[in-house]
Amino acid sequence: MKLKKTATLFLFLSVLMLYSQQWKQNFKIVEPIRDFNNSFASSMSAYDGYVAFGSSQQISGFQNAGKVYIAKEDCDGWSIYQELTLLPAQNYCNFGSVIFMEGKTLAILGCDPSNPSKGNAIYMYERNANGFYIFTQKIVKSENVSGDNFGYKIAISNNYMVVGADYNSTDNSLGNYLENAGAAYIYFKDTNGVWSPVQKIVASDRKRRVTFGNSVAIYENTIVVGAVEEGSNLAGAAYVFEKNNLNVWNETKKLVAYDYRSLQDRFGYIVKINENGIFIAASRDDDYDSILSGDGAGPLTSLGSVYIFKKNSVGEWIGHQKLRASDGSANIFGFGDRMEIFKDQIAISGTEYEYDSGGNLSKVFGRVYMFQKEINDIWKEYQIVRPKNVEHSDDYFSNSISLYGKNLFVGAMWDKLDANDQSYISYAGAAYVFNTYEFKPQKPILNILPALTSCADLGNGFSSGFDTSLLENDLVLNSDNFIFSYKDQLGNVLPSPLPANYLNKFPYNEIINVRVENKNNSACYEDVQVELQTISPFALNVVPELKKCDLNGTGYAVFDLSKISNLLVQNPASYTFSYFDRDENDITASVNSTYINSNKNYEEITVRVTDINTACIEKTKIYLSVSDFGQDCNIEKYTIPNFFTPNGDGFNDLWEVTGFGSEDYSVYIYDRSGKLLKTLERDSAWDGNFNGTPLPSSDYWYQIMFENGNQKRGHFSLKR
């Protein structure tokens, strides 16, 4: 049990170290053509190597027409490569004032020029195979109502999208007017990529001016909607909706601050949800003590906080923890004005005011507080993120934030300097990119490898294994700095790393597609193909049985085995040879021109031959036989058949030794495992049966015992 706890703690600390690395500013992104009051990065949304930035740019003389810039990660960092606008341009269309990116889908809020009431519309884009976002659909609600803030908040999860309209005044039946009660609209994307409205949701206790829908979030089958002005003191609330088996979303819970509902706390100003729970910002929450925050009561107001809710064992959402900024003060407040979550990380913005000597507000800037989930699901602040070069510059740093993976984007829409912190232009705007690593452009430089070869020892072009244990080290220098992924020639994903002994899936020739990417930058990669080739096995020559006479009757003799390799193959220099005795002991070192058999009268040696170029291996056996009949062994008057064919054709059906004259002897026949099968006396023969059952084709061994104590051993083949 102690080992289990230790292992769990080690795993937790490893994950904690991964996520608690300090965020470092690596890039500052500005508009390609900067201009006064464009407020670049006033909105933003990032997803897996792509990010969209909103700008209130003037287009063709139209004020605040709006534009969206798309940037993608590459080996040099981030590059803007696409611009999206709504034409014809309109004054104060504010195209791009709200952006949401999820998967390959991009939703952008803008005006609806075709609507005489000047309502809003959501413009849907999909990223194509070339990485460009293509317009697919304009979404408008069925109610022709302007000024209800439709689209001011958008959230997408898989094929569902929820859109807030916090000033909407009708219920889900489009009646029962209550001014600014608020609503949210749910859309579904079908298999053809078309978004359609499926439901309008409102609060079960809807009231006038609670602004239900001022924030929205969705994760799988759960939607959270903020109502920032709900309550008699406008403290705020959030509502939870869950989808049933009929794909209908029903309200299941109303969430409020679980410690104290103060005047205009703005609980529900931002709502988020993921696998770790529901996160609700109360950006003007006063400094009241909470048993879940433990920060101590104080006189400060509007410091802000974030409430975390989790489901208990019976599936009910309950208060779990309350987060506050570590440095809140009279001048540092608004904790929760912006909030983004990604897995076990939370980024929460805060605002700081700076006053001049006369007590007048002179600068507005911000910071981002980073929290991580620790043991027992407790969240802890571990860093305050600020720009490294320009601090206290009235840049509205943290007016927008987006967090995905190892990338934290922070907008500063009043920033006045370019990417090099030069070229002053008022309110031009900028976006800062922070990462958990120091950026070093490192595109992998790959080596071109020769084809990997292995013997087709399994037959039909398949091998028992290619050695890929050093493949990654052979492909690139400092392989630990890169991530490797593999696909076969049909595009099927292979394990990474490949098994050290890889079994080919395609006969004879196989292509493995390898992607090598910078471990800190998935957009910085190179692709290469590795070819596998199976080599047909080679054939060994048959070496006849080596026979020697022992004139002293000991059963041992000297054999010249130095030329065995020449007998087995034509070009011995292209091969390596290993020799093994009957017990599989390596006897290579002792195989030479003066080899003495280790077993009396007979020895079987296994030879393993390896092709140096292909690594193909073949095995064969050589047999050593020592006759100990005195002078008679040189005469070789006797006959011992090498094989017989007991198939009943009347020819060679029996195995029989002959030519020993008047000597008495017995013959013992064994199988490979040494089992005695038959005993023959003088002038008798064997028919290949054992207890009346025909034995299979194979090699069999004999031992001839003479009446003087001498013996002879050897083997023969039964062929059917």
Which residue ranges form the domains of the chain, and what is each CATH number?
452-535 (2.60.40), 539-632 (2.60.40), 637-720 (2.60.40.1930)
CA end-to-end span of the chain: 63
Q: What is the pLDDT of residues 263-300, one digit of tens each?
A: 888 999 999 999 999 999 999 988 654 444 444 545 56
Given a contact cutoff of 8 angstroms between Cβ atoms, the answer to whether 71 and 32 are in contact is: no
Pick from 288, 301, 224: nearest CA to 261: 288
Given a contact cutoff of 8 angstroms between Cβ atoms, the answer to whether 114 and 103 are in contact is: no
Pick from 104, 55, 52: nearest CA to 78: 52
Alpha-carbon torsion (29, 35, 39, 43), positive or negative: negative
Residue-level pLDDT at 298: 53
Residue-level pLDDT at 4: 35
pTM: 0.72
In three-state secondary structure terms, 640 is coil
Other beta carbons within 10 angstroms of residue 706's beta carbon come to 15
Cα–Cα distance for residue pair 349/306, rounded to 1 Å: 11
Q: Which two tokens stand for residue 382?
A: 């571990």
Pick from 434, 527, 521: nearest CA to 49: 521
Residue-level pLDDT at 203: 97
71 strand-pairing partners: 51, 80
Helix (H) or strand (E) holding 281: strand 277-282
Q: Which two tokens stand for residue 178?
A: 């209550």
CA–CA distance from 521 to each of 253, 445, 605, 626 (Å)? 41, 15, 58, 72
Residue-level pLDDT at 637: 61
At 345, give phi and psi (nearest 5°).
Answer: -125, 145
Residues 6+ apart with CB under 8 A from 632: none
Given a contact cutoff of 8 angstroms between Cβ atoms, the answer to whether 431 and 410 are in contact is: yes
- The residue type found at 75 is C
- The full 3-state SS of 111-145, as one line of letters, equals ECCCCCCCCEEEEEEEECCCCCEEEEEEECCCCCC
- The residue type found at 626 is V
Helix (H) or strand (E) holding 476: none
Q: Which two tokens stand for residue 629?
A: 């009949």
Q: What is the pLDDT of residues 182-233, one digit of tens each?
A: 999 999 999 999 999 999 999 999 999 999 999 999 999 999 999 999 998 8
497 preceded by a cis bond (ω within 30 of 0):
yes
In three-state secondary structure terms, 16 is helix
Residue-level pLDDT at 330: 81
Helix (H) or strand (E) holding 2: helix 2-19
Cα–Cα distance for residue pair 667/512, rounded to 1 Å: 59
- The residue type found at 643 is F
Residue-level pLDDT at 390: 59
Pick from 402, 406, 310, 392: nearest CA to 348: 402
Given a contact cutoff of 8 angstroms between Cβ atoms, the answer to whether 713 and 602 are in contact is: yes
In three-state secondary structure terms, 439 is coil
| Kind of pairing between the strands at 67-74 and 50-55 | antiparallel
In three-state secondary structure terms, 548 is strand
- Listed as ranges, residues in the chain with pLDDT below 50 are 1-19, 289-295, 297, 630-632, 634-635
